[in-house]
Amino acid sequence: MSNPSKILPAPISLSPPTPSETPTSLPKTSPLRLTITNSISGLVPKNFKHAKKYVSVTKLALVGGAGLSFVDLICDLIMVNEYTELNEQGYANATIAAVGLSLVLQLIVVLVSNSKLAKSRILLEMLYVVTFVKPGVDVYRVSTGKKAATGSRSNPYNEMIYVRAIELFAECILIIVISIFQLISFGLFLFLMNPSYRSIFSSPKTGSQEACISFKNAENDHARFNVLKLEKTLWRPIEEDIRKWINGNLEGWLKLEDEGGEEFSNNKKALILDELVEDKGLLTRIM
């Protein structure tokens, strides 16, 4: 018979361990330590050549970002020229204001970050800003791992982030200002327009629905001919109604014309499509 002590589990103690029983450090073979070590080593490239590739891609991304900033400036200058040629001086001035705001904010960042440095260094940093090469300079400093100058309140990486944020902010301000201007103009337009037109200024109906309703609710033939001036696709749903209207009245219109009436003019005849006329004899008279 087996020993019961070998079958039953050891008794569990509910009392807290004494200081002597508490481990002061993890053993070298601890599963937790192995897990942490493997996780960290997984983040580090095993091949040094791969690490160089990662660094190269990072530098390429930084240079690309600086290049986009410069291209954005060129696009702004082109748009200013385009707006000026189109006599849209308001949009041109708004674009110039956005570029100027970006420069001013960048100069403030440079002054705050380098206020404790020599004046020559501050002037050099300001020169980078006004010549629009500041993004490129920041990228060079970050990609080469250059540290901040002694006494500087910011490092190259933070300055690069600040400059990019300022550029985005200036672009957003331009769009917001133009949008607000357009909303105000539209509001004034609605306010100053004839009040009787406000209810028909916008409608959930489609163009085709509006054309069909206009034809059915027309008070006279002159109003119905106005519907025929529209594209056929707009009044196609009521083409059969228009066909009946034309064939039921065409002979009477021609008779009035023979009597010297001016109601059925050549302009109205030109609006009648050949396929809408069933009587070919009457069709020859309006061609």
Give tens-digit pLDDT for 5-56: 444 455 544 455 554 544 444 444 445 444 444 444 444 444 444 444 545 5
pTM over 0.85: no
Tell me which residue range forms the domain holding 281: 207-286
pLDDT of 49 reads 46
Nearest-10 Cα torsion for 251, 257, 262, 265: 60
* Of 101-110, 141-150, 259-268, the least confident: 259-268
- CA 134 – CA 159 distance, rounded (Å): 10
Shared-domain flag, residues 135 and 186: yes
Shared-domain flag, residues 185 and 271: no
Shared-domain flag, residues 174 and 212: no
Supply the mean pLDDT for the chain. 76
Region 253-262: mean pLDDT is: 77
Shared-domain flag, residues 59 and 130: yes
Does position 136 have pLDDT exceeding 60, yes or no? yes
In a 10 Å sphere around its CB, with 0-12 CB exposed, 13-18 middle and 19+ buried, how is residue 131 labelled? Answer: exposed
Shared-domain flag, residues 130 and 249: no
pLDDT of 137 reads 80
pLDDT of 44 reads 44
Whether residue 2 lies inside any domain: the answer is: no
Shared-domain flag, residues 113 and 214: no
Shared-domain flag, residues 186 and 220: no
- Cα end-to-end span (Å), the chain: 122
Shared-domain flag, residues 60 and 100: yes
Q: How many CB atoms lie within 10 A of CB 269?
A: 15
Structure tokens given for 114: 């380098």
pLDDT of 207 reads 85
Shared-domain flag, residues 164 and 70: yes
